[in-house]
Amino acid sequence: MKAASFLFIAILLSAGPLQSQDSAEAEGNWMMDYYLDPTPEELPSHLIQLSEDGVLSDPKAQAPIVGFTSQVMANHPDRVGDWMAQLSDLPEDSAVAVQTALWFSNTEASREYFEENDLNEYLEAPAPDILGMAIDNPGTLDLLWGYFFATGEKAPIESLVSSLALAQYAGALNAYPESEKTETDREAAYFDATFQSALWSLESNAVAHPRVLQYCQEILAEGDLTEREQLWLKVVLSKAQKQLTPGPLPDEPDAEKAETPEKEDL
């Protein structure tokens, strides 16, 4: 099995019995490799399988699937009608996840579907823009990874790298149990959890996916990052490259020192 990704783990942990976990692993691998060899015609069958595995109805696993499915639908609006017909027998909790993905796809085909099926709640507000979302919770990270695996584009990786700015909250999660547990304390802990998730997922996927590694290197070289984002992206790349190339690497930042930067660097 390839190195675990954020999306894959979310899917696998939502599966039930061992047989379902094996199926969920296959579905996760299909989604993660999709951008390398797109097979959009297979989308309905994979969503049906994810529903049967109990994954599509699990709120913890829905965000990466919604992010992924929304972009496949956005890139193939001419197939939406046929796909939704094939998915018409999904249980309600799974159907809602698919409808949400369709809403996120933000195409004329999606609006026509909602109008024809009296799903007016999806027409009352503008569809969310995944790339334009504020990254203040792990769910947004999941949406962005789903977006990347569907398209292979650089834009979601740029958004993910921007979340490294949350490093200013590093340590807040561990400090929370001993804090006064104010709303500010809770928010800081949540931001720290989001930062840690971003850090881990970027490193993990940079190891598993050469394109993610390439994009991260390009983003660093472009020089448009803040000092904090630059520091932590260097940590991500250093750790990833050590896994890909065992042994010391010349001209690489000291990851151990970068993990605990001076307070003024945070």
The predicted model scores a pTM of: 0.86
Q: Do 164 and 229 share a domain, yes or no?
A: yes
Q: Is residue 143 part of a domain?
A: no
Helix extents (H) in 106-226? 108-116, 138-151, 155-162, 172-175, 183-208, 210-222
Per the structure, the complete domain to which residue 23 belongs is given by 6-132
Task: Give the chain's length.
Answer: 266
Tell whether 28 and 116 lie within a shared domain: yes
Q: How many other CB atoms sit within 10 Å of the CB of residue 133?
A: 14
Helix (H) or strand (E) holding 174: helix 172-175
Specify whether 11 is located in the same domain as 68.
Answer: yes
Q: Do residues 171 and 85 both lie within one domain? A: no
In a domain, 148, yes or no: no
164, 114: one domain: no
Q: Give whole-number Cα distances, 65 to 104, 144, 212, in Å.
A: 12, 10, 19
123/61 same-domain check: yes
Percent of the chain with pLDDT over 90: 76
Assess if residue 139 is contained within a domain.
Answer: no
Whether 51 maps to a domain, the answer reads yes
Report the distance separating Cα 139 and Cα 26, nearest Å: 22
Same domain (yes/no): 44, 110: yes
pLDDT at position 161, please? 98
Looking at the chain, the number of H-run helices and the number of E-run strands are 14, 0
pLDDT of residue 23: 74
In this predicted structure, what is the pLDDT of residue 26? 85
The reported pLDDT for the residue numbered 28 is 85
Based on the domain organization, do 46 and 107 belong to the same domain? yes
Interatomic CA distance for residues 121 and 77, integer angstroms: 20
Residues 242 and 179 placed together within one structural domain of the fold: yes
Written as six digits, the tokens of 145 are 């990874």
Identify whether residues 117 and 191 lie together within a single domain: no
- Please indicate, yes or no, whether residues 183 and 247 belong to a single structural domain of this protein: yes
| pLDDT of the residue at 38 | 97
In the chain the first and final C-alpha atoms are separated, in Å, by 36
Residues 77 and 194 in one domain: no
Q: Is residue 149 part of a domain?
A: no
Q: Write the pLDDT tens digit of every residue in 135-162.
A: 989 999 999 999 999 999 999 999 999 9
CB 171 within 8 Å of CB 192: yes
Does residue 142 belong to any structural domain of this protein? no
Residues of the chain with pLDDT under 70: 1-22, 246-266
Residue 144 domain-assigned?
A: no
Q: Residue 229: its pLDDT value, please?
A: 97
Q: Which two tokens stand for residue 104?
A: 């996120």
Of the residues 132, 162, 188, the one at which a domain ends: 132
Specify the number of domains making up the chain.
2
For residue 34, give Cα distances in angstroms to 42, 72, 117, 130, 226: 10, 10, 30, 19, 32
For residue 39, being part of any structural domain is answered with yes
